[in-house]
Amino acid sequence: MRNRKQEETLQFFTGFVFSLVLTSSTFTTGQIRLAGPRSTSCSGRVEVFYSNAWGTVCDDEWDITDANVVCRQLGCGTALNATGSAHFGQGDGKIWLDNVRCSGDESSLTSCGHNGYEKHDCGHSEDAGVVCSVNLPKPSISTGSAEVTWGQQVSITCSIAASPLSGTFILRKTSGSFRVTRSSDSSSATFNIPKVTLDHDGEFKCQYEKMMSSQTFTSPFSNSVRLRVSLERPIISLTSPDGGLVWGPGGAEVTKGYGLSFTCSINPRYPQGDFSLIFSDSNITETRPAVNNSASFNFPAAEFEHQGNYSCVYEVTMATQRFSSDEAEPISLIIKSSSLLLVSSVSSGILLLVLLVSLAVCLRCRRKLCSKQPIPSDQNQSLYSARDAL
């Protein structure tokens, strides 16, 4: 009697062997497949099943007529390109066919003329491939820099593994109407944007088109690449209309009570936007529209609460999207006491002290004089008379 574990094991191996039998029985001599890196169901390295093994085809005399037979046999339409030199990577194992010579009417590749199986003078570096019309391979897309500043140049490259000749690459933006085409005789095309603007901010995709017998065959879209366009940092400056500004090692020093003015400016090529003055020591920001690409923020009289770090940001609204620049290099503001007020306070203090000292000296001297000089008798008598009269 078998236990349950033995039964499960037997069922597993029985099913596994049965699966192998079914799998191997699905391949018959003369079948073909497309393989290799970046291959699809209708583009790739051509491989033939013969003598219970898959093998490749040499690219000697390999042309579009041979490729057409392969594409038709696979149900992939017509051939767009017959590739050589192991374009879809090198195979391994056998090289079954060489010097294939199809007339174009054959139902299968193995029905075409050739040297015979495994009769060749090739290496796998000469493996042949096809690109069929029904399923063009998916292109790839890349950009030199995903983040660029307004006005900079950016390049976006589209490429396709199959490299069908004389095709057209299409660069599209996933939102908006941006669409640029470029014809190419190679497997790639580069789209140069000399000066990016905020309109170029977003995602881009590539597509490939190939004209064949008055028909247009189109590949799937590539994956998207995100291009971020930012604004350059504005410039912030500080002036004092009253002349109370001095630049010191710690930053800008403005005398208390004097007027001061911050000015934010940006490159004139930018569109109309708003400047925001940012005070680092407070959550309060002040925003003003740009006039001639600048804006001024005025303080009539500097107070000690104005002391701190100041910067500014430029913002532009395009459609429903808002773009903000990085903060400008900050200015450190120090408020100092007025020197005239200090001198006046010191002078007043000294004068008051002198007056107090003088008064004390006078009082002391008066006491001394009064104690040392007796009043004459006649003067005493007068004083007494005056007192009695009162």
User: Is 254 in contact with 334 (CB distance < 8 Å)?
Assistant: yes
Asked if pLDDT for residue 360 goes beyond 50, the answer is yes
Structure tokens at 324: 């903000």
What are the angstrom distances between the C-alpha of 238 and each of 241, 250, 272, 309, 327?
10, 14, 23, 12, 16
φ, ψ (nearest 5 deg) of residue 278: -110, 125
Spatial CA neighbour of 365 closest among 377, 357, 374: 357
Strand partners, 286: 277
What span, in angstroms and rounded, lies between the C-alpha atoms of 205 and 367? Answer: 106
Share of the chain above pLDDT 90, in %: 53
**Each residue of 89-112: pLDDT tens digit?**
999 999 999 999 999 999 999 999
* Domains of the chain by start residue, with CATH: 29-132 (3.10.250.10), 140-229 (2.60.40.10), 235-338 (2.60.40.10)
pLDDT (tens digit per residue) in 370-388 = 555 554 555 445 444 544 5
Give the Cα separation of 209 and 168 in Å (integer): 5
| DSSP annotation string for 245-256 | EEEETTEEEEET
Angle 265-268-271 from CA coordinates, rounded to 5°: 100
- Distance of alpha carbon 296 from alpha carbon 315, whole angstroms: 15
Is the confidence at residue 291, as pLDDT, over 90?
yes
| Confidence grade of residue 208 (pLDDT, cut at 50, 70, 90) | very high
